[in-house]
Amino acid sequence: MSLSKDEIERFSRQILLPELATKGQVNLRKSSCLVVGAGGLGSPAALYLAAAGVGRLGILDYDVVEASNLQRQIIHSQQSVGLSKAESAQESIHRLTSFCECIAHTVVLDSTNAIEIISKYDVIVDATDNVATRYLLNDACVLLDKVLVSGSALRLEGQLTVYHYKGGPCYRCLFPTPPPPETVTNCSDGGVLGAVTGIIGCFQALEAIKLLAGMEPAYAQKLLLLDAFSGAIRVVKLRPKNANCAVCGDNPSITQLIDYVQFCGASATDKSVTQHVLNPSERISAIAYKEILKRGDAHILLDVRDKNQFNIAQLPNAVNIPWSALPRQLGQVLDLVGMPDKSGTLETAETAALASSSGVGQKVPVFVLCRLGNDSQLAVKLLKASGVEQVWDIEGGLYAWSDGVDSSFPKY
Ligand SMILES: Nc1ncnc2c1ncn2[C@@H]1O[C@H](COP(=O)(O)OP(=O)(O)OP(=O)(O)O)[C@@H](O)[C@H]1O
């Protein structure tokens, strides 16, 4: 129950705190913590946990470091781009301290491996960014009786709470069913300020450090809400444990992990992938579109990203009508392609279809573009339903343009 000379010197500033003291520091040395996600939240959380003297720290992430991560994922550096996030984080922690054994888990956490990995740690920090992994971590922590320190951040807002602490609620008690996938936004679509993830990640480290040192957490059955725009922090009391909860209730129906991707109807890896909504004949490749540009064929290039994204970078002569505004601005597209708008102001695809007899009068084809090629496919469907016949999706959007045609075009 004592500390070495090196430990006393290294951790003196926190041992001086009567709330922590020698006993708390010894507890930290003997403790272990798993940080799931070495991204915006996991970066500061892991650094502070290691610096505080947690004895064994697991860092789990399946992904590699990308340039767009570095604005907030401060455990990684420019030299780590392309490397495994878990290993890059482990390297940073090795540089920071020799008092912490850091273990890198480069895997997708799923139902097949979660119990085995999580059972090796005392406290779990959820620093991930997708609903399927949130339910997975919650259920695994309840089944293994571990406390889960959960955080999230998006745009200028952040949230934090501690689940399943001494009979308190779990994530499922509060959210028995997952949200519809189309209502969930992530940082790669909505953006986030690095300092916001920094604040929430530090709060996660703080709560985990208190738990591991033997102190009471501040946010069990309470939710911290950060509004970084106004600088306000609000604390909301959460409902107590739900006796009917499917995993921690009195008669749980979930006694082992399930298929969380199926349960949530959404991927557990938050990788933006192109979903196929259209037939191949309704799409052209970025390379084929480049040929059209080269030949100088008359056409309209419709970019359906939101205004802010359009202003970041755009192709020459693109017309920007955001996907969210397209139903209201169909008349503008019909004007552009030379199809007279017979209804006056068009409100919906149905009124547009009524107003234009299929394809009649269309003078130029339309090619539709977005960042990854998802919204553009939906826009092509809407335009077709509105009577625009010569309309094609540029497959894979601006990512495909950057990969296949012009590598100087920024991927963001
Ligand atoms: N099931 C999972 N298994 C392993 N790692 C996961 C899992 N779910 C999420 N993660 C990791 O959690 C981290 C969350 O970090 P963050 O929210 O900053 O997002 P990101 O994916 O790095 O960034 P962006 O969305 O901008 O590409 C990511 O590094 C992601 O790979």
Same domain, 156 and 290: no
pLDDT score recorded for residue 205: 99
Q: Atom 17 of ligand 1 has which residue's CA nearest to it? A: 129
Active site residue 370: yes
pLDDT on residue 268: 82
Does the structure's ipTM exceed the value 0.90? yes
Q: What pLDDT score does 183 carry?
A: 83
Looking at the structure, tell me whether residues 186 and 51 fall in a common domain.
yes
Assess if residue 299 is contained within a domain: yes
Q: Does 6 reside within a domain? A: no
- Identify the CATH number of the domain in which residue 369 sits: 3.40.250.10
Residue 274 is predicted with a pLDDT of: 67
8 assigned to some structural domain: no
Amino acid letter for position 360: V
240 and 302 belong to one structural domain: no
With contact defined as beta carbons under 8 Å apart, do 102 and 93 qualify? Answer: yes
Is there a domain that residue 4 lies in?
Answer: no
In what order do the strands lie in the sheet containing 147-154? 101-105, 56-60, 32-36, 123-126, 147-154, 157-163, 222-227, 232-237
Supply the range of the domain harboring residue 300.
Answer: 280-404
101 and 220 together in one domain: yes
Out of 129, 150, 260, 269, give the residue to mutate to test ligand 1, the one with the largest number of ligand atoms within 8 Å of its CB.
129
| Residues found in the chain | 412
Taking CA atoms only, the protein residue closest to ligand 1 atom 26 is 188
Does one domain contain both 338 and 308?
Answer: yes
Domain with residue 80: its CATH number is 3.40.50.720
Q: Does 221 share its domain with 298?
A: no
- 258 shares its domain with 287: no
Best of 41, 126, 128 for a ligand 1 pocket test (most atoms within 8 Å of beta carbon): 128
> Does residue 250 share a domain with residue 339?
no
Residue of minimum CA distance from atom 29 in ligand 1: 39
238 and 348 belong to one structural domain: no
pLDDT at residue 339 in the model: 85
Question: 100 an active-site residue?
Answer: no
d(CA 200, CA 184): 19
How many domains are there within the chain? 2
How many A from CA of 219 to the centre of ligand 1?
24
User: Binding site for Zn(2+): what residues are annotated?
Assistant: 170, 173, 245, 248
Residue 275 maps to a domain: no
Residue 266: the pLDDT is: 87
- Residues of the chain below pLDDT 50: none
Tell whether 145 is covered by a domain.
yes
Q: Are residues 97 and 198 in the same domain?
A: yes
Is the same domain home to 239 and 297?
no
Q: Which of 231, 264, 297 is the last residue of a domain?
A: 264
| Residue 381 domain-assigned (yes or no) | yes
Q: Is 289 in the same domain as 236? A: no
In a domain, 98, yes or no: yes
Q: Say what the pLDDT of residue 175 is.
A: 96
Residue list, ligand 1 pocket, CB within 6 Å = 37-40, 60-63, 68-69, 73, 85, 108-109, 128-130, 133, 186-188, 268-270
Ligand 1 atom at minimal distance to the Cα of residue 110: 1
